Amino acid sequence: MKVLKFLGIAIMATIINISFMACSDDDEDKGSSNPIVGTWQEDEGNGNYFVWKFNADGTGIEQEYYNGQLEEPVTFTYTYDTKTTVLTITYKEEGDLIAEDIDTYYVTINDNTMKVREFWDGGEDETPDIYTKK
């Protein structure tokens, strides 16, 4: 009888443990979504605009348009820390062993608007660039 009672308690404990693990996985998935993923555009007027496309895998593409004409697109890798809201973009030409350029930004995202302020050793931009999610 004691063995059956122990076995019943062990089975119940296992079921409860599995239930908690399933709930915690769901919560982690919801909290881990990256708000920067997607296509963002900054309109400078006169057919001039700038587009960043951030993929979920940490890669992206930068496109500049002047008078509506696409300049040569540039690929990059990036990291975005949702806690510090710091975005780091690393540009590297294909075949290069080291990064060509690394840019770091403070980012504020509000609905479909992203404000970006670049910073470097000497300080940071006073006026943010404003992007709209497409």
pLDDT in tens, 111-128: 999 999 998 766 666 789
Segments forming the whole domain that contains residue 18: 1-32
Domains identified in the chain, total number:
2
Q: Is the pTM of the predicted complex or chain greater than 0.75? A: no
pLDDT in tens, 22-78: 444 443 334 458 999 999 999 998 999 999 999 999 999 999 999 999 998 999 999
46 lies in the same domain as 23 = no
Using DSSP, how many helices (H) and how many strands (E) does the chain show?
Answer: 1, 10
57 lies in the same domain as 122 = yes
52 lies in the same domain as 19 = no
**57/2 Cα distance (integer angstroms):** 53
70 lies in the same domain as 11 = no
| pLDDT on residue 124 | 65
